[in-house]
Chains A and B, each alone.
Chain A
């Protein structure tokens, strides 16, 4: 039925385009025409292959040949040899062996989907599809073959660490909860994904809810709990709907409820809704919120594993952590620990966003470098701009810069680099982003989300914000820069919970990496990225201005005056720096100084 015998897929990702994929297409088309192959071979421009470092990419179907670094000059050869004679052009075929330090075992793809294994594959509203992909086999196996201690041992050996941010070893957490005796214990899934710019957990819950349910049941068996609670953001209606469907279907099959798979083990799951409080990502706050209270944290210890929900031992893990569990049980601890770095095993899901071409959800082995994530999977920076920083760990994290591009991403390296893994949001910034403003943006967030219980976080973050605002307004002093650092360190050192203990990170990290930008704001009263409105001045170059009046007519505050056909002037006292004049000027006569 196929009309064409052969397809040539040419990568149309941004960076391949930059390296001449357009002319490759043109060349292919003309070669095909020249050889009279129009009815047999079709050339198709595709999206990004996520392999930009080796672009431009050409893939040949149906034989799945994968050519890298193709130049327009290579086109004739591909047509002549591969298309016409059926002989592959070996020198262009991707050969991973040649690539130094490649860990991808001959596989060109950078991503391995473990937590996301079923996302985009199965219908999340149909439990049968989950079962067909080995769903609920892991809980079955655990119940039949393992004691709780043995199952915990597998998780411990796998090296799985909490994906919510802290990176605490999951197996150890379960072990502690299992050893605290109580008449009732609870398994809690933290689905209160609050980092702005992070949507990993939402995607897992929307795409593969059963994997979380199964893992919670496994956890329940391990620690001796029969009740599970998923604490989910109310802002995720679709995830909630799908979870509800999944729980009902699992109950109907007896995969939740009494006597699961004839084992005598009971486990059921209910939902609790968050209500818009970032601090509820912190486990003690989350538990208070589950109890119908203000989501204020309490001092640890006691840890939830000793005294948690309703005062009972409680194990809290996040969505991605749970989603990794069933596979580990089925494929073994060794398999999982073979992926990743020495101290960070397995894969990590990142929500790649910001000034990047391929915004999306990715899952990479621990140890993948930032360069691979941004320039290959992410397809590079939008509009060909220069990479400046990647923010990980959300408001608790810091930024990674050019010098970190080749650092393997794992829990410990990120902390060493002054950031943190966080839950997996990764926001990419380019040369146009002012790092002082970014720090201010995150502090604005923290000030709004601080619960207000402890003084350093409640008042300290407000003061940090105020200083940052002064700096971005050009009112900052060197003394304030110093205070900024001392305040940041004390807030970290003295705050009650994880929110305050990490909230100054964006400040410290940007100060460490972009101190010159701070200095420029403070000393020169300049914003190098041209973002800080107060430090900008719109000026009309008299030489370039022809007096067309377009700017004056479009100025919303009438800040521009001047006679027709004579150079205009902007009254900076009135100007609100909206930029409307620049857009309307056809002569590039207006500049920002």
Chain B
């Protein structure tokens, strides 16, 4: 894991404490707290995990253990437009890999990385359940269906 040092502002710490409080500072609510926090902060840097650990009275190691277990949680800030390519089976047999390769080629980033300008981050996910539209790509909240490698350029153009 790369460690980008983050200075938390006082209001951010207050916000974090509020989130923990809203789950009664229950250790059993850790995953819900992490969800809410990632929703608020966009990602889960080490400093944030430390505050959560302290508030919920669990060890920081345990919090990190949970964060790294679930693929939904990330310690790296996503790009402004997070791109996810569905690599579920339906999308796979309908050519998701080629679409992914095209994104990698054009953006020149690997899966899990963010482009140097912070604009796009690339990740894979397993099935959004829109198999009828395979292969599926999501950019932020927007879902693109029946994407072909040729269509990748057009999708990216929308965010320029």
A contact residues vs B (CB 8 Å cutoff): 193-199, 202-203, 234-236, 272-278, 289-296, 310, 351, 353-355, 359-360, 391, 394, 425, 427, 429, 433, 438, 441-442, 445, 448, 451
Contact = CB atoms under 8 A, between A and B. Distances in A.
From A196, A275, A277, A292, name the one whose CB has the most chain B CB atoms within 10 angstroms: A292
A276 B72 contact: yes
Interface in B73-91: 73, 87-91
A427 B93 contact: yes
A355 B127 CA distance: 16
A295 B70 contact: yes
A207 to B, nearest CB: 12
B89 A292 contact: no
Contact of B69 (A198, A295, A310): A295
Contacts of A438: 93
Contacts of A195: 89, 127
Given A353-B132, A359-B134, A294 B69 contact: yes
Contact of A234 (B72, B88, B131): B72
Contacts of B134: 353-354, 359
A199 B88 CA distance: 11
A561 to B, nearest CB: 23
A13 to B, nearest CB: 15
Nearest to A352: B131
Contacts of B132: 353, 359-360
A292 B69 contact: no
B128 interface: yes
Contact of A277 (B26, B32, B70, B131): B70
Contacts of B31: 272-273, 275, 289, 292
B35 interface: yes
Most buried by B among A198, A275, A278, A295: A275
A122 B71 CA distance: 34
Given A310-B28, A354-B89, A425-B89, 9 more contacts: A195-B127, A196-B127, A277-B69, A292-B26, A293-B62, A353-B131, A353-B132, A427-B89, A433-B93
B125 interface: yes
A194 B131 CA distance: 13
Contacts of B104: none
Contact of A441 (B66, B89, B129): B89
Contacts of A310: 28
B93 A354 contact: yes
A151 B73 CA distance: 41
Interface string B3-33: 0000000000000000000000011111110
A221 B73 CA distance: 36
A293 B128 CA distance: 24
A294 B65 contact: yes
Contact of B131 (A197, A236, A294, A295): A197
A190 B70 CA distance: 17
Nearest to A452: B69
Nearest to B56: A292
A292 B32 CA distance: 8
A275 B87 contact: no
**A-B pairs, 8 with minimum CB distance:** A196-B88, A199-B129, A275-B70, A292-B30, A353-B90, A197-B89, A276-B72, A276-B71
B130 interface: yes
5 contacts: A235-B125, A276-B71, A292-B66, A353-B132, A355-B94
B126 interface: yes
How extensive is the interface on chain B, given as a class?
Answer: 20 to 34
B90 A291 contact: no
Contacts of B35: 234, 273, 275
B83 to A, nearest CB: 15
Interface in B97-139: 125-132, 134
Given A294-B65, A394-B89, A275 B94 contact: no
B48 interface: no
A351 B62 CA distance: 37
Contacts of B128: 235
A197 B133 CA distance: 11
A353 B135 CA distance: 11
B92 interface: yes
Contacts of A197: 88-91, 127, 131
B34 interface: yes
Given A196-B126, A199-B127, A292-B31, A276 B70 contact: yes
A235 B66 contact: no
A275 B28 contact: no
Contacts of B71: 275-277, 448
Contacts of B26: 292
Contact of A429 (B32, B66, B93): B93
Contacts of A353: 89-90, 131-132, 134
Nearest to A438: B93
Contacts of B93: 354-355, 427, 429, 433, 438
A72 B128 CA distance: 43
Interface in B43-73: 62, 65-66, 69-73
Contacts of B32: 272-273, 292
Given A275-B73, A292-B27, A202 B131 contact: no
A391 B73 CA distance: 30
A441 B88 CA distance: 10
B126 A354 contact: no
B69 A451 contact: yes
B27 A278 contact: no
A445 B69 CA distance: 15
Most chain A CB inside 10 Å of its own CB: which residue of B30, B31, B134? B31
Contacts of B73: 275-276
A552 B17 CA distance: 61
A250 to B, nearest CB: 21
A292 B35 CA distance: 11
A198 B126 contact: no
Given A197-B90, A295-B69, A353-B89, A236 B129 contact: yes
